[in-house]
């Protein structure tokens, strides 16, 4: 949907824009795969119907006429609204919990008003007016969050302002000497990347949500992208910040590194709106490299895959992407390939399976890996030589650039699959963590066991699969996807049982509760187990001192109240 | 001096241990150089005499017998003391302000008691006892700080505990799969590096203070080392932390990257004791590389040097060291070489000067650069090829590994020069910053102009020189050394005039007040100009919520009181 001033939003009930969806018809192996995985036949299953919007019971907005008028005086009448559709679009992100609720019309609390400032000065005006009016402010970027970072607390009695940064979408300036670009926080991935490309630069930040997420949102949730191995996580990339706070703007200049006390820059990173509204970020940008290749490899099994990834991380090589799927996810990738091309075609011949057999591979254990090389021709070649030697040592095999090109083309399409499964009455969702190399196998197996335990409790055939998505010197991010068919009872309760078991297994095996999705409401019950009671205490002190009346996205990251249904984690 | 339990400390009046000092006699060009630079003839100048320790007027300790006994009960009687020498050693760091004061017996306030815990449990005991007793706690590592981070506030009425971590000096564990080592915070550079080397690992963190600084101190001040281009600043290296807080220990596990809200890890980094006592750090370690070479290069002038460094940072190359001295510092380096070897010998022949002449160099404009390459043989060679091409393009010339070996050997000796100059009645000190590449020339020239302006005000012949010490994608660290001969009046007032003018010039030209020395008392007047009023507000809220009675190293980083002589910065 398009709202005020042409700010583009996703479907109110799902991912992406109207008319784009996942289809299985051109992927002949997909349907049988899903039958085996979760016992659902997508060819014959009954399709759930999303309630028509006008049948939703949208609560009335709670806002004084005078406060509404004050906001209109700041941004103009066209840029402030209490329209029901606008409020629903700004109520949730796109987590599975969000989609289940919004599709079924469970909307306890929407923002009361949505405002679209044109610039930082208007943002300051809105913040100051809202603080003075005793209102709550929730900044809104692309709305792609899946950690419950956007929803107003159900019991919130104050007026809730959704502050949509969508009009702040420009690359303001590129400092070519320093490789630094000043970009407004509301710029969506494709828009900012296009504006940079025009000038010969790239940000190199490509999260799965790229198409519908913003720079400000990336900073507010500590995002990581597919090429972060080379370009760094957003925490490395974001050097300068402008954050509107009550009465004034916090300015962190773009300094390459500083020893000026505890890092305020790193306080804003991941703050999910609790410390103010990010309006501008100065980011590291890079000249578009001569080479930007993704190569595909196969490993005989998961254990070997992890060992090879670890050795690459320890080596002199600095690839741009280091991704490897476990055997289950590899099987899924092959099954979701289109009939005419992709990995499926690769393996349907006789050459590759023959080669694999000679290397002692078992086809149900093979792991598919993508490794990216960027830079000048000579550099990319040198990187590949370093990596190839390690892969060879671990009995891996390269299969060229073909599959990587396909991967690169469809990498942002995965979220559509979740809507497709919801349409069939099934949950498909993700959970991600990071851990030291020495603990990754245990984290992986622990998550599998936890999910299986939850599926057993629910009496369901469930599915879980995983990949390493980013590597660091000391460890990696493990990304899990899980699915099962909903029963007739409380869908969220079923989902919570599985998701929470997985989250708890991360902590129990030495991982973090999130590598790049943020905390929001969904992950907050584990924060204390993750960063310790004293760690939460320091962070809470920061929030309370910065926002004594809890007006900035209250309850997120650290939930201090009691009225929302985020139960304490139960120790496994 | 050696104190309780064999914890080694530096001279109470200067850098390093007794018996080691800077000598000029074997460097024939040094004395004439200093005459020209600051108008001082070190061959004939009158030598200042450090007051004998027993002539110091050391204030009596203010401590209740019961609190002293409580501390003794925790650490044992041998590990708690109010001895005058111990208290003086723990009063200051080794900044020029510190040395001028301690040498002249200006000691307004010492800690009242020094305690040496054996482990984290004892540290917790001390912290809890001190908090309960209403005392102040100042953690002490190697005592090398030069930003005024260690001294008790002159007007402090409460009992001040210096908590010396010197006995917590062990590498506890190396996780070989993850390249992570758990190391106690009190371990000095050479000790921890030796313990790691024994097991085949290196931390790769080599600040100028390496010999007399500790891991905990590096974390508490956001240190950076000579090979940080490759290994990262300590903020990148330190993955896990244990910090003793009142009533409990904050634990940040070693996760490679996480999106768990504002980074508590990055709150502890640079906190200079204000948030608790760091007892243990889990750091990234690396296998000792096959190659670890430092090559020397010359550039025709400073402008070209900066351009080449910028291009190297933007390129695919990842050297371990990128250092280049400006023309003045190059002249100084040549003058301080020993007669028999080093750069002096290099340039005293006819071959090199001849080559330079043919390349159009003017000898008084040349800039000396050291670039390091580490890793496997093939990788180091590839790196050097990438860098050499850039250097060639900028009319630079390589002169091999010889000078780099000498540089590597004497790199930790520079601080002794400050004591030598103080002996001659002269100030020699340092000031450092970081800025984007586009602003580095202005920051450099601005600091020169500011120093010259201050020298003019003082009616002195002064000296300033500079080098790029670390490079990042978006900018670099500029490190300045300045010197002048003290008058008969207030030495600190003269020093402050110069140092403060330089610090203000950093801010005015787009740099930070410190890249790696920390804030302490000395740099705190500029913090607001650096990270903005709102930034200081957030940080202050963190400090006050974490330590409501101001018992942890009060007044450092953000000075909230009024009794200490740190005047507000005056705009240039």
- For B214-224, how does the pLDDT look when each residue is reduced to its tens digit (9 = 90+)? 999 999 999 99
Range in A6-20, A91-105, A307-321, B151-165 the model is least confident about: A6-20
Q: How far apart are CA A33 and CA B324, in angstroms?
A: 60
CB contact under 8 A, A544 and B545: yes
Please provide the size of chain B in residues.
572
- Give residue A343's pLDDT: 60
Strand partners, B114: B81, B162
The CA angle B569-B268-B210, to the nearest 5 degrees, is 80
Q: Which residue of B has its CA nearest to A175?
A: B438
CA A417 from centre of chain = 15
- Give residue A340's pLDDT: 55
Please say whether the beta carbons of B99 and B91 come within 8 A. no
Quick one: what percent of chain B has pLDDT higher than 70?
Answer: 95
Number of continuous H segments (helices) and E segments (strands) in chain B:
21, 18
Q: Which residue of A has its CA nearest to B250?
A: A534
Q: Is the dihedral of CA A229, A232, A233, A234 positive or negative?
A: negative
Contacts of B266 in chain A (CB under 8 A): 262-263, 266-267
- E strand or H helix at A268, and its extent? helix A265-268
Residues 6+ apart with CB under 8 A from A518: A145, A147, A149, A220, A221, A222, A270, A272, A557, B259, B261
Nearest to B260 among A249, A435, A512 (CB): A512
Average pLDDT over residues B461-488: 97
CB contact under 8 A, A259 and B519: yes
- Give residue B94's pLDDT: 97
Please say whether the beta carbons of A141 and A185 come within 8 A. yes
Question: What is the band of A365 on the pLDDT scale with cuts at 50, 70, 90?
Answer: very high
Domains of chain B, earliest start first: 4-18+48-164 (3.30.43.10), 171-287 (3.30.465.10), 291-411 (3.40.462.40), 415-546 (3.30.300.330)
In the residue annotation, A495 being an active-site residue is answered as no
Range in A97-106, A328-337, A373-382, A546-555 the model is least confident about: A328-337
User: Which tens digits make up the pLDDT trace of A207-234?
Assistant: 999 999 999 999 999 999 999 999 999 9
Q: How far apart are CA A296 and CA B415, in angstroms?
A: 52
pLDDT at A49 over 70: yes
The CA angle B416-B421-B423, to the nearest 5 degrees, is 100
What distances in angstroms separate CA B161 from CA B87, B136, B270, B318, one per listed residue?
A: 10, 6, 20, 44
Q: How far apart are CA A542 and CA B245, in angstroms?
A: 16
CA A468 from centre of chain = 15
pLDDT at A4 over 70: no
CB contact under 8 A, B275 and A178: no
| Residue A393 burial (CB count, 10 A) | 12
Query: Annotated catalytic residue: which of B92, B479, B495, B559?
Result: B479
Nearest to B254 among A252, A314, A474 (CB): A474
- Give residue B49's pLDDT: 82
Contacts of B434 in chain A (CB under 8 A): 255-258
pLDDT at A336 over 90: no
User: Which tens digits make up the pLDDT trace of A531-549?
Assistant: 999 999 999 999 999 999 9
Contacts of A269 in chain B (CB under 8 A): 262-263
- Give residue B569's pLDDT: 38
Residues 6+ apart with CB under 8 A from B204: B225, B227, B230, B231, B237, B285, B286, B320
CB contact under 8 A, B243 and A534: yes
What distances in angstroms separate CA A42 from CA A20, A178, A379, A424, one per listed residue?
A: 18, 52, 46, 7
Q: Beta strand pairing status for A113-115 and A160-164?
A: parallel
What distances in angstroms separate CA A270 from CA A233, A266, A276, A543, one per listed residue?
A: 12, 8, 12, 12
Q: How far apart are CA A347 and CA A364, in angstroms?
A: 12
Q: What mean pLDDT is reported for chain A? A: 93
Which of B385, B406, B201 has the alpha carbon at shortest distance from B284? B201
CB contact under 8 A, A261 and B527: yes
Q: Which residue of B has its CA nearest to A306?
A: B177
Question: What is the band of A264 on the pLDDT scale with cuts at 50, 70, 90?
Answer: very high
Strand, coil or helix: B496: helix
CB contact under 8 A, A179 and B533: no
Contacts of A255 in chain B (CB under 8 A): 434-436, 475, 511-512
**Residue from A120, A209, A261, A511 to probe the interface with B (highest B Cβ count within 10 Å):** A261
Average pLDDT over residues B480-484: 98
User: Which tens digits make up the pLDDT trace of B290-319?
Assistant: 999 999 999 999 999 999 999 999 999 999
- Give residue B26's pLDDT: 85
Q: Is the dihedral of CA B6, B8, B13, B17 positive or negative?
A: positive
Q: How far apart are CA A292 and CA A313, in angstroms?
A: 19
Nearest to A316 among B376, B514, B516 (CB): B376
- Give residue A410's pLDDT: 74
- Give residue A562's pLDDT: 33
**Residue from A231, A474, A515, A528 to probe the interface with B (highest B Cβ count within 10 Å):** A474
A-to-B residue pairs, Cβ atoms closer than 8 angstroms:
315
Q: Which residue of A has its CA nearest to B262?
A: A267
Closest-CA distance, A275 to chain B, in angstroms, reads 9
- Give residue B570's pLDDT: 36
Torsion of CA B173, B175, B176, B177, to 10 degrees: 170
pLDDT at A258 over 70: yes
CB contact under 8 A, B267 and A267: yes
Strand partners, A434: A477
Average pLDDT over residues B26-45: 92
Q: What mean pLDDT is reported for chain B? A: 93
Strand, coil or helix: B378: helix
pLDDT at B564 over 70: no
Q: How far apart are CA A80 and CA A229, in angstroms?
A: 41
Q: Which residue of A has its CA nearest to B275?
A: A538
Please say whether the beta carbons of A152 and A136 come within 8 A. yes
- Give residue B353's pLDDT: 85
Q: Which residue of A has its CA nearest to B241?
A: A531
Q: From its phi and psi, is residue A433 left (phi > 0), alpha (psi between -120 and 50) or beta?
A: beta
Strand, coil or helix: A264: coil
Contacts of B546 in chain A (CB under 8 A): 537-538, 541
CA B243 from centre of chain = 22
What distances in angstroms separate CA A555 from CA A141, A564, B124, B403, B542, one per listed residue?
A: 19, 9, 32, 59, 18
pLDDT at A5 over 70: no
Nearest to B250 among A264, A266, A534 (CB): A534
- Give residue B4's pLDDT: 55
pLDDT at B278 over 50: yes
**Token pair of B72 as six digits:** 């003794």
| Residue A571 burial (CB count, 10 A) | 8
CB contact under 8 A, B538 and A275: yes
Nearest to B269 among A262, A477, A557 (CB): A262
CB contact under 8 A, A224 and B257: yes
Average pLDDT over residues A515-528: 96
Which of B476, B346, B363 has the alpha carbon at shortest distance from B399? B346
Average pLDDT over residues A57-72: 97
Torsion of CA A558, A562, A566, A570, to 10 degrees: 90
pLDDT at A367 over 60: yes
CB contact under 8 A, B515 and A259: yes
Quick one: what percent of chain A has pLDDT higher than 90?
Answer: 85
Closest-CA distance, B51 to chain A, in angstroms, reads 34
pLDDT at A308 over 50: yes
Note the ipTM here.
0.96
Q: How far apart are CA B174 and CA A332, in angstroms?
A: 37
Contacts of A261 in chain B (CB under 8 A): 270-272, 518-519, 527, 539, 557-558
pLDDT at B571 over 60: no
Q: How far apart are CA A361 and CA A299, in angstroms?
A: 8
- Give residue B344's pLDDT: 59
- Give residue A563's pLDDT: 32
Nearest to B519 among A260, A263, A518 (CB): A260
Q: How far apart are CA A522 and CA A555, in angstroms?
A: 11
Please provide the size of chain A in residues.
572
Q: Which residue of A has its CA nearest to B311?
A: A177
Question: What is the band of A455 on the pLDDT scale with cuts at 50, 70, 90?
Answer: very high
User: Which tens digits make up the pLDDT trace of B399-427?
Assistant: 999 887 777 777 777 889 999 999 999 99
Please say whether the beta carbons of B509 and B443 come within 8 A. yes
Q: Beta strand pairing status for B136-140 and B160-164?
A: parallel
User: Which tens digits make up the pLDDT trace of A424-436?
Assistant: 999 999 999 999 9
Question: What is the band of A569 on the pLDDT scale with cuts at 50, 70, 90?
Answer: very low
| H helix intervals, B29-80 | 30-38, 65-75
Residues 6+ apart with CB under 8 A from B357: none
Q: How far apart are CA A23 and CA A420, in angstroms?
A: 8
Query: Annotated catalytic residue: which of A297, A361, A479, A559?
Result: A479
Contacts of B544 in chain A (CB under 8 A): 545
- Give residue B562's pLDDT: 33
Please say whether the beta carbons of A187 and A171 come within 8 A. yes
User: Which tens digits make up the pLDDT trace of A386-439?
Assistant: 999 999 999 999 999 988 777 777 777 788 999 999 999 999 999 999 999 999
- Give residue A50's pLDDT: 86
pLDDT at B92 over 70: yes
Nearest to B270 among A261, A276, A533 (CB): A261
User: Which tens digits make up the pLDDT trace of B338-370?
Assistant: 755 556 566 667 788 888 999 999 999 999 999
- Give residue A208's pLDDT: 93
């Amino acid at each position: 949907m398009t709202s005020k001033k042409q700010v583009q939003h996703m479907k109110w009930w799902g991912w992406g824009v109207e008319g784009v969806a996942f289809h299985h018809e051109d992927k002949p192996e997909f349907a049988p795969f899903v039958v085996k995985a979760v016992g659902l036949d997508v060819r014959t299953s009954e399709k759930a119907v999303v309630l028509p919007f006008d049948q939703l019971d949208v609560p009335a907005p709670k806002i004084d006429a005078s406060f509404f008028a004050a906001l209109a005086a700041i941004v103009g009448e066209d840029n402030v609204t209490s329209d029901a559709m606008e409020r629903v679009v700004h109520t949730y992100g796109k987590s599975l919990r969000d989609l289940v609720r919004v599709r079924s019309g469970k909307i306890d609390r929407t923002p009361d008003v949505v405002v679209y400032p044109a610039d930082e000065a208007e943002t300051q005006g809105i913040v100051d007016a809202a603080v003075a009016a005793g209102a709550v402010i929730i900044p809104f970027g692309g709305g792609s969050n899946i950690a419950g970072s956007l929803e107003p607390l159900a019991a919130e009695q104050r007026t809730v302002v959704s502050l949509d940064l969508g009009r702040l979408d420009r690359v303001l300036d590129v400092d070519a000497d320093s490789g630094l670009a000043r970009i407004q926080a509301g710029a969506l991935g494709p828009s900012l990347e296009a504006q940079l490309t025009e000038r010969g630069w790239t940000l190199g930040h490509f999260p799965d949500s790229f198409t519908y997420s913003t720079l400000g949102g990336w900073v507010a949730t500590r995002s990581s992208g597919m090429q972060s191995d080379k370009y760094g996580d957003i925490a490395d990339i974001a050097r300068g910040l402008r954050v509107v706070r009550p009465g004034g703007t916090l300015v962190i200049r773009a300094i390459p590194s500083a020893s000026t006390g505890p890092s305020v820059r790193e306080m804003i990173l991941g703050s999910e709106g609790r410390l103010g509204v990010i309006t501008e970020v100065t980011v590291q940008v890079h000249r578009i490299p001569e080479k930007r290749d993704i190569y595909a490899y196969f490993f005989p099994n998961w254990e070997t895959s992890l060992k090879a990834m670890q050795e690459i991380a320890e080596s002199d090589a600095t690839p741009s992407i280091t991704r490897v799927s476990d055997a289950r996810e590899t099987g899924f990738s092959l099954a979701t390939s289109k009939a005419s091309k992709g990995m499926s075609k690769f393996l349907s011949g006789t050459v590759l399976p023959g080669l694999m057999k000679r290397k002692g591979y078992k086809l149900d254990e093979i792991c598919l890996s993508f490794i990216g090389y960027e830079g000048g021709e000579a550099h990319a070649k040198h990187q590949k030589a370093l990596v190839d030697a390690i892969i060879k040592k671990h009995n891996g095999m390269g299969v060229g650039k073909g599959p990587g090109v396909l991967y690169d083309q469809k990498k942002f399409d995965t979220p559509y699959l979740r809507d497709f499964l919801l349409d069939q009455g099934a949950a498909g969702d993700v959970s991600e963590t990071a851990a030291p190399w020495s603990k990754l196998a245990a984290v992986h197996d622990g998550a599998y066991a936890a999910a299986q335990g939850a599926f057993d409790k629910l009496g369901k055939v469930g599915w879980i699969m995983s990949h390493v998505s980013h590597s660091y010197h000391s460890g990696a991010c493990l990304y899990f996807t899980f699915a099962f068919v909903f029963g007739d009872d409380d869908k969220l309760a079923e989902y919570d049982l599985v998701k929470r078991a997985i989250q708890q297994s991360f902590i129990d095996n030495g991982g973090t509760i999130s590598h790049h999705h943020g905390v929001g409401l969904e992950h907050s019950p584990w924060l204390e187990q993750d960063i310790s009671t004293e760690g939460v205490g320091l962070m809470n002190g920061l929030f309370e001192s910065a926002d004594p009346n809890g007006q900035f996205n209250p309850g997120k990251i650290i939930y201090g109240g009691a009225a929302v249904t985020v139960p304490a984690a139960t120790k496994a």
